[in-house]
Amino acid sequence: MTATAAPATTAVLSLKGVSKRFGAVQALKDIDFDVNAGEVVALVGDNGAGKSTLVKTIAGVYTPDEGTMTFDGRTTSVSTPAEAQRLGIATVFQDLALCDNLDVVGNLFLGRELYRGRALDEVRMEQESWRLLRQLSAKIPSVRIPVASLSGGQRQTVAIARSLLGDPKVVMLDEPTAALGVAQTAEVLNLVERLRDNGHGVILISHNMSDVMAVADRVHVLRLGRNNGTFHVSQTSTQEIIAAITGATTNAVSERASRRVQKEEQS
Amino acid sequence: MSTATPNAPQDTTAALPADLQDERLIAQQGVRGWAGAFLSRLKSGDLGSLPVVIGLVIIWGVFQALNDSFLSSRNLVNLTLQSAAVGTIAIGIVLVLLLGEIDLSVGSVSGLSSAILAVGMVNQGWPSVVAIVVAIVAGMVIGLAYGALFTRFGVPSFVITLAGLLAVLGLQLYVLGKEGTINIPFDSGLVKFAQQTFLPLAVSYVVALLAVALYVLTRLRVNSQRAAAGLSTTPNVMIGLRALVLAVVLLVPTYVLNRDRGVSVMFLLFVALVVVMDFAIRRTGWGRSVMAVGGNVEAARRAGINVKGIYLSVFALCSTFAAIGGLLAAGRLAAANQSSGGGDTNLNAIAAAVIGGTSLFGGRGSAYSALLGIIVIQSISSGLSLLNLDSSIRYMVTGGVLLLAVTVDSLSRRSRAAHGRA
């Protein structure tokens, strides 16, 4: 493993004491979270731990009730997804939101088309698409075929490439490998590493521990809406992270483990 | 890490254009490559306008065999005159179908526009320009109302326009008043335009050749831009071949039509509207947004497209085209009456768009389907009336053809899904 971009640890994105309530439910409580440039931070937690709420808060879908968000050294607040995008936070949601009937170029530039006079500049868009896809070493056979004919991994690639168009500083990927096969998962993980090597801060939401351990530099664990530890992947184990996700002491896994130990001691 | 593995194989392909470097891409260069690609596209169900062209050839062949005056210049000139009005309405239908919506009221809107024109010009004594503008604006307002109802309350377009069908028909009858039929004077500009204005012989050929020249020039310009950008280009042979086909497709009908009265300016206006809308759909940001909304509304919304604005503009345009079609119909008939825009106008317009190859499922189609579809429908209608068969047979045959077209659409959709071209 390469060392993460040397400790020039000025966080691109940093949240301090963020809280979010939905009526009587405290979805997030006092969350501290930061991402550096050229770093992959995995955001993990059980269902209902607050991952999605946190992602949506960063993406501008929700506004936090308390807490501050610092982006690129300046305190900011984002109240709409468009604002977050303009700031340089790109989000790839789990349902990729691609138009099956449009070709790859059409999807990449959807809503941000390039013009030549009043007409679309197809040539420049195609050229830019290839540049973008090459930069990700993406395996797309042609950018003039409808997205419907691409495989799951290729579609994910298009969605990620699309998020990079505005040259964002932070890219959030919501379960990018959830529906993918072995080879395609590997392709997407390569892509994540390439994003990091290109100096983007990457936030990776995933339930898949092996993916997390494979690409993340740090793992940030949420549990019941609170911080439950940050781990450097190089200095931790899957067990430790799972313990943090499930609550180290009071869960089925650790209970079984301790029962076992007791039995072994008895025998 | 494995990031900077020098891609040795890519060096060998460096001479290839940027879009042909992937080794999995089956290279399609030259005329044979193009033919192969065309065949494989057909096999996978990406039929485009091929079924309708084949259908048209069959229909023309059958009718010509049954009655040899079918393909006579005189009948074909009549065909162009009959096609223009409903064809113009069908352009609007293509637009709403691209969004995956429908407008069932285009017939009524065209009837209302005829009525406004006739009452304005004849009863109120408005200058014809004013009457035309008022009629078109009325259509646009109706479309905007549909769009507003659709985007604000989320009522299905099917229901909104079904209600509109009745309401606008009522409005048409109200505007016409007690008389029921208003004749438009034969010496008025609109009637002359719709019935008697044909391109002079020389001008018609110049127009056809200009169209071919324009095609070649655009293709060459695109080629030079693509070459400058390091992308693949269409071989000049291919451009020449296509230009040749286009020239035949344009010049032969021009010659045939010129043996009788000539190329109708009204029909030319319809074709021009088709070409303009085709450009708008394929080459502008608005058209791209329409296709995106038709393909996946949610994706379009997240991409920052003003989805409501797109719906509004398309419904407004559809009704506007319906109003224009109504004006052409009134001009051709030299009258507006209670059955203007009634009968089969509505269904013919919708059937034309679908038969021409625009999908009912949204996101797939082209403005040219209005042109191809209306020619098919009018050919059937004109052929059957040449055979002295009455409208009962005509309705049944048109219904059958429509059913066939929709079935082809559904089947090719399934095949596209299976071949990954959905």
Judge whether residue A123 has pLDDT over 60: yes
Query: For the residues A183-205, what does the mean pLDDT come to?
Result: 87
Range scoring the smallest mean pLDDT among B172-176, B207-211, B360-364, B375-379:
B360-364
The answer to whether residues A78 and A18 touch, using CB atoms and an 8 Å cutoff, is: no
Cβ–Cβ of A197/B295 closer than 8 Å? no
Q: Which residues of chain B approach chain A closer than 8 Å at the C-beta?
A: 1-3, 7, 18-19, 22, 24-25, 222, 225-226, 229-231, 279, 283-285, 288-289, 291-292, 294-296, 298-300, 302-305, 363-364, 416-417, 419-422
Domain residue limits, chain A: 11-88+170-266, 98-167
pLDDT, one tens digit per residue, over B246-283 is 999 999 999 999 999 999 999 999 999 999 999 999 99
Secondary structure (DSSP) of chain A: -PPPSTT---EEEEEEEEEEEETTEEEEEEEEEEEETTEEEEEEE-TTSSHHHHHHHHHTSS--SEEEEEETTEEE---SHHHHHHHTEEEE-SS----TTSBHHHHHTTTS--EETTEE-HHHHHHHHHHHHHHTT---S-TTSBGGGS-HHHHHHHHHHHHTTT--SEEEEESTTTT--HHHHHHHHHHHHHHHHTT-EEEEE-S-HHHHHHH-SEEEEEETTEEEEEEEGGG--HHHHHHHHH-SSSSHHHHHHHHHHHHHHH-
Judge whether residue B195 has pLDDT over 70: yes
Q: What is the pLDDT of residue B25?
A: 58
- In this complex, which of A100, A112, A119 lies closest to B284 when CB atoms are compared? A119
The answer to whether residues B331 and B191 touch, using CB atoms and an 8 Å cutoff, is: yes
Judge whether residue B26 has pLDDT over 60: no
Query: For the residues B284-292, what does the mean pLDDT come to?
Result: 95
Global pTM reads: 0.84
Judge whether residue A157 has pLDDT over 90: no
Tell me the β-bridge partners of A90: A171
- Report which secondary-structure segment, H or E, holds B25: none
Residue bearing the bigger pLDDT, A217 or B234: A217
The answer to whether residues A171 and A205 touch, using CB atoms and an 8 Å cutoff, is: no
pLDDT, one tens digit per residue, over B69-123 is 999 999 999 999 999 999 999 999 999 999 999 999 999 999 999 999 999 999 9
Cβ–Cβ of B291/A127 closer than 8 Å? no
Q: What is the pLDDT of residue B4?
A: 41
Average predicted confidence (pLDDT) for chain A: 84
Query: For the residues A67-96, what does the mean pLDDT come to?
Result: 84
pLDDT, one tens digit per residue, over A127-152 is 999 988 887 777 788 888 888 888 88
Give B-chain residues touching A150 at CB under 8 angstroms: 420
Q: What is the pLDDT of residue B179?
A: 79
Q: What is the pLDDT of residue A255?
A: 63
pLDDT band at A254 (very low <50, low <70, confident <90, very high): low
- In this complex, which of A97, A141, A193 lies closest to B22 when CB atoms are compared? A141
- Tell whether ipTM is more than 0.90: no
| Cα(B341)–Cα(B164) distance, integer angstroms | 14
| Cα(A85)–Cα(A88) distance, integer angstroms | 5
Give B-chain residues touching A101 at CB under 8 angstroms: 291, 294-296, 363-364, 422
Judge whether residue B292 has pLDDT over 50: yes
Q: What is the pLDDT of residue B29?
A: 57
**Domains of chain B by start residue, with CATH:** 49-197+264-418 (1.10.3470), 198-263 (no CATH)
Query: For the residues B166-193, what does the mean pLDDT come to?
Result: 91
Secondary structure (DSSP) of B88-148: HHHHHHHHHHHTT---TTHHHHHHHHHHHHHIIIIIS---HHHHHHHHHHHHHHHHHHHHH
Residue bearing the bigger pLDDT, B276 or A55: B276
B331, B273, B330, B322: which is closest to B90 by C-alpha? B322
pLDDT, one tens digit per residue, over B392-419 is 887 888 788 878 878 887 887 777 766 6
For residues B91-113, one letter each, b for 16 or more C-beta atoms within 10 angstroms of the residue's C-beta and e for the rest, the string is: bbbbbbbbbbbbbbbbbbbbbbb
Please tell me the class of the A11-88+170-266 domain: alpha beta
Sequence letter at residue B247 = A
Give B-chain residues touching A141 at CB under 8 angstroms: 22, 24-25
- In this complex, which of A99, A126, A144 lies closest to B299 when CB atoms are compared? A99
Query: For the residues A243-262, what does the mean pLDDT come to?
Result: 68
